A and B are shown apart, each in its own frame.
Chain A
Amino acid sequence: MPVDSFKYLPRSIAAYYQTLRVERVDSIPWTPLSKPLNQCRFALVTTAGIYDKAREPPFDAGREKREPMWGDPTYRRIRRDLAQGQIGASHLHINNRDILADVNIVLPVNRFAELEEEGVIGSLAAVNYSLMGYQPNTSEWRARYAPEVAGLLKDEALDAVLLTPA
């Protein structure tokens, strides 16, 4: 049975989403996987709006409250060895309770560390990334932050990325 993208949305929001026009790219970019999975160096990128409380500030929820049509376009670094207690969550559009109980449901650092140990993947990056998925206007992502994160990932000679929205 196909996934119902609207299953958990209130009907009014589902109806609204279905009216939105989305720009489709002319051709979807493609980088074929260049090596077996067990040699691939992975990074994790989520848009769940989480951050490492010990090292970086939260996303700017205050500004979003003042300007509801704005979402913080910046990114945060999430080290693979951070403890659950260090996770902060800034997303204003979801209940963050379960993410604060187990970060793996949006950024599977522990699960990937296990896959690395089992030899299923080559390795998990030391630094992974988090962004804020609420972006009514993606122009800052496009112009600055997405290319910046892409550059940081390439600098670490990574092969593949698992992307997880909230």
Chain B
Amino acid sequence: MLAQTFEEAGLSTVMVTMMPFWAEKMGTPRTLGVEVPFGHTLGMPGDREMQKMIIRAALSLLEQAQQPGAMSEVEVEWPQASDVARKDWQPLEASPIIKMMREQAHARAEGRRQET
């Protein structure tokens, strides 16, 4: 949505995302998909080479895209095992919405338990 607003204002945008699924659904001018954990859009901390590689791929897309909705991807070799990375990006404390959803699920389960 930000990309659309900026593009409408006369800026050429390129978005790097780990969820090209959303970009495709919403319609973003230029999207670079990258398979990395959340919070690590441009790579690992301190890994200048990985960061520059992803950025250069985004700049290439910006230069070469011919029409809105252009999408490309860049392959990244993530140094963590997937199951480790899947936990590691998550916040130390569950977010308020997750807490709320868990409480609601718990309350529903309690309600059902009391009915039986």
Contact = CB atoms under 8 A, between A and B. Distances in A.
Interface string A97-126: 011011011101001101100001100000
A64 interface: yes
Given A94-B90, A101-B46, A22 B13 contact: no
B102 to A, nearest CB: 11
A68 B11 contact: no
Most chain-A Cβ atoms within 10 A of its Cβ — which of B27, B35, B95, B96? B96
Name A's interface SS: loop
Given A7-B35, A30-B7, A24 B26 contact: yes
A161 interface: yes
Contacts of B46: 101-102
A27 B37 contact: no
A111 B47 CA distance: 11
B10 interface: yes
B4 A163 contact: no
Interface residues of A, number: 76
Contacts of A95: 39, 88-92
B45 A102 contact: yes
A134 B9 CA distance: 23
Contacts of A10: 86
A161 B38 contact: no
A28 B71 CA distance: 13
Interface in A54-74: 64-65, 68-69
A68 B99 CA distance: 9
Interface in B67-110: 67-69, 73, 75, 82, 85-86, 88-93, 95-97, 99-100
Given A3-B73, A31-B10, A96-B91, 7 more contacts: A2-B33, A5-B19, A6-B21, A25-B4, A106-B42, A111-B55, A164-B41
30 contacts: A3-B33, A3-B35, A6-B21, A25-B27, A31-B7, A31-B13, A32-B12, A33-B63, A45-B2, A46-B41, A47-B2, A68-B97, A69-B97, A91-B91, A93-B91, A94-B90, A96-B91, A99-B39, A104-B48, A105-B51, A111-B51, A111-B55, A114-B52, A120-B59, A131-B2, A134-B95, A160-B11, A163-B13, A163-B15, A165-B17
Interface of B: 1-22, 25-29, 33-46, 48, 51-52, 55-56, 58-59, 62-63, 67-69, 73, 75, 82, 85-86, 88-93, 95-97, 99-100
